[in-house]
């Protein structure tokens, strides 16, 4: 199973050698998209010139092999509250793209300046599924969830300090959201959010 879906290697708990070896093996045995998350650049450096068109995403620390990606369809909207949520949102976007999603983005629209969000209602209404990454108070998914009638995937990020507890504050905010239709993933889990959004985006029309 899992055909048509990207293979993903989580590189954080592995040595560079282990990551490289696993990624090369996956590149050989399969023909679909491949991704290494939380990968230091050194992983990419070792992969260059080994016969595959790996790319490296500096912001999200991703090693990506874009092959066998379905024609982009549907509409996934990726939204962030602030600049520092960028890398996590990017991880989500790339994941969704590898799953065949057309991905739009709307960044820096946190709730403390509501006009930034309300100026893009059309973009919000056009999406089939929305990913929202937010740290600090994590209030953005609640507001967006109240505006739309499509699934919202909420990613709490570890952006913040003090009583933020490395993302626990926005995690709790999102789990307790007053708006319905919100699914939450682990803190900083851009991959998980992108994957779930990708499934939802393609799932409807088999």
Ligand X SMILES: Nc1ncnc2c1ncn2[C@@H]1O[C@H](COP(=O)(O)O)[C@@H](O)[C@H]1O
Site for a second copy in 18-77 (CB under 8 A): 18, 22
DSSP the chain: --TTSPEEEE-TTS-HHHHHHHHHHHHHH--S-EEEES--HHHHHHHTTSSS-EEEETTTTEEEE--SPPPPEEEEEEEESSGGGHHHHHHHHHHHHHTTEEEEEE-S--GGGHHHHHTTHHHHHT-SEEEEEE-TT--HHHHHHHH-SS-EEEEE-----GGGGGGHHHHHHHHT-SSSSEEE--TT-HHHHHHHHHHHHHHT--
Say whether residue 40 binds ligand X (CB under 6 A): no
Exactly one of 87, 145, 151, 156 binds Mg ion (CB under 5 A); which one? Answer: 145
Q: Minimum Å distance from CB 120 to a second copy?
A: 14
Q: Minimum Å distance from CB 110 to Mg ion?
A: 13
- Binding residues for a second copy restricted to 116-175, rule: CB under 8 A: 128-129, 135-139, 142-143, 145-147, 149-151, 153, 156, 158-175
Say whether residue 176 binds a second copy (CB under 8 A): yes
Q: Which stretch binds a second copy (CB under 8 A): 23-31, 42-50, 60-68, 82-90?
A: 82-90
Binding marks (x or -) toward ligand X, 68..97, rule CB under 6 A?
A: --------------xx--------------
Judged by the rule CB under 5 A, the positions of this chain that interact with Mg ion are 145, 181
């Amino acid at each position: 199973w899992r055909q048509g879906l990207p293979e993903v290697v989580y590189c954080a708990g592995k040595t560079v050698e282990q990551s490289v070896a696993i990624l090369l093996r996956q590149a050989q045995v399969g023909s679909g998209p491949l991704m290494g998350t939380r990968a230091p650049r050194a992983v990419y450096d070792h992969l260059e010139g080994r016969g595959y068109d790996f790319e490296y995403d500096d912001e999200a620390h991703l090693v990506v092999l874009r092959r066998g990606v379905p024609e982009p369809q549907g509409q996934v909207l990726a939204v962030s509250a602030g600049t520092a949520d960028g890398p996590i949102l990017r991880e989500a976007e790339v994941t969704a793209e590898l799953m065949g999603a057309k991905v739009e983005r709307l960044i820096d629209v946190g709730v403390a300046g509501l006009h930034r969000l309300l100026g893009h209602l059309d973009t919000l209404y056009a999406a089939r599924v929305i990913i929202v990454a937010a740290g600090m108070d994590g209030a953005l998914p609640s507001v967006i969830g109240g505006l739309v009638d499509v699934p919202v995937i909420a990613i709490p990020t570890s952006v913040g300090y003090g009583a933020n507890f490395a993302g626990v504050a926005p995690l709790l905010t999102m789990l307790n959201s007053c708006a319905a239709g919100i699914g939450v993933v682990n803190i900083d889990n851009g991959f998980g959010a992108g994957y779930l959004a990708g499934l939802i985006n393609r799932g409807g029309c088999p």
